[in-house]
Amino acid sequence: MKRRSFLTTATLASAGITTLLITGCNSSTTKNEGAALVENSGSDFELDEETISSLNEKLSSGKYTSKQLVEMYLERIKAIDQNGAKLNSIIEVNPDAVAIATMMDKELKLGKSRGPLHGIPVVIKDNIDTADKMQTTAGSLAMVGNIAKNDAFVVKKLREAGAVIIGKANLSEWANFRSTQSSSGWSSRGGQSKNPYILDHNPCGSSAGSGVAVSANLCVVAIGTETDGSIVCPASVNGIVGIKPTVGLVSRSGIIPISKTQDTAGPMTRTVTDAAILLSAIAAVDTNDEVTLESAGKAKKDYTGFLDLNALKGKRIGIEKKPQGNDININNLLDAALDLLKKQGATVVEIDYIEKINALGQSESDVLHYEFKDGVNKYLSNSTAKVKTLKEVIEFNKNNEDKAMPYCKQEILENANDRQGLDDKKYIESLTASFEGSKSILDAVFQENKLDAICGITMGPACSIDVIYGDKWGSYSLTSPAAMSGYPHITIPCGQVYDLPVGFSFFGKPYSEGELIGFGFAYEQASKKRVKPGLKPSFLS
């Protein structure tokens, strides 16, 4: 579903609905084996385009320690995120990061490795609980001072794997569920994150900071969250890889919620290989999130086993037969991508499904409003935040309007707060229409056409930043089908238009992450479209 069409459809029917996009080059050379092909643009950094595997080799050889890696990334954050280009993607740095890295180094010296993430610097989104000195605020001033009592389950898995969480990423406030006129990547606590390709352009959201941080080499990998587009859109417009897993593969406990039906966390990385490694670390059953029980026997312990250069051979990949838009440059990228799939041995099948999914947009937005109120009230009641209900968040913002709402307001929060409980007939009808309806449509398309996946342009290039009137995204978007159904989705760099990245998507049936990773890897390695951002000040500069 198109970002702006979702906004328009929902707003007409119910005031206060937003989308959940939650929305001179030198010859390219590979920096290391498995890394994406990168053009040499932008400021040089010693760890530019490093991968989990390449850093593991350097840790093993003794070239670097984890402590040195952390210090280098923290200096990089200081240099171009806080100063310089002022990307504004990191909302808070972990004061214990160096100490944790030192502990990981000691373990390595004793011969103990926890796996491929041991000692690797990671950034996580600021709606994910960490029981440390960092706050969890969803970018909201109303949430300042909220120190989590426990790590989110995803954070526990990262720590168990030896990852070093070096900071939290800025995001679209309340994961882009506050105002119909919000600017993606803006929060009252963190300000406006910037697209590292052209700084006056939008990084998309809501996982804006995570996408920018990975793209600009402020970390190796990051964790984002998605309800509808919040991983795949910022991944697409920031020129990186993003995976929105099947809802149920990755736990949501300890994550500030929007929708228990659609929420999930997932990897944001520069390569498909790193995404597979990161997904392997965080996918697990969590007894505190009942939906993850459905993944038992379906999740894989190691998704790197699906990294096959020939994964597309003999596969049937669907493509919507109606054009997503009329931009010749974007359509040329799509045509080139489809030609590449065919060269890799895939059969591309024209299908007709997107209008049927789009028709469910109002039902989806109703579900999100009901579930947001229910989920946020439960989260706040057990938090250390000074606000304990959604109503108190709304009152805080009104009482601090000059700082909390200097641009857009909070009509989505207000609309959600007016909803009844989850036993309300309208909620139940909307849930059936949106969730079950989207699954039924997609299942029929997969079965009737014998498809292994559906593909398309993830998102058009980034729009300009506009904190007054909000985002103005074009017609190209492939976020909602997988989001509404809870199905998995991967996006990979597809090329550039107007010096801005565009992503290419595959989404599939539940728990087909392995297959999608294979398709994404085969496409990535055959196309090599990742381009390092150049931190260009403006489109016309």
Return the active site residues: 125, 206, 230
Query: CA distances (Å), 324 to each of 191, 385, 449, in order?
Result: 32, 43, 20
Reported residue count of the chain is 541
- Rounded Cα–Cα distance for residues 256 and 353 (Å): 32
Assign 186 to helix, strand or coil. strand
353 and 481 in contact (C-beta within 8 Å)? yes
Q: How many CB atoms lie within 10 A of CB 96?
A: 15
Assign 9 to helix, strand or coil. helix
Two structure tokens written together for 448? 């009737």
* Position 376, amino acid: V
Which of 31, 114, 16 has the alpha carbon at shortest distance from 470?
16
Assign 146 to helix, strand or coil. coil
- Rounded Cα–Cα distance for residues 376 and 403 (Å): 22
Query: Which positions ≥6 away from 211 have C-beta within 8 Å?
Result: 89, 203, 204, 222, 224, 234, 235, 237, 238, 240, 242, 268
- Rounded Cα–Cα distance for residues 68 and 56 (Å): 13
Q: Which residue has the tokens 């947001």?
A: 372
Longest dimension (CA), the chain: 62
268 and 207 in contact (C-beta within 8 Å)? yes
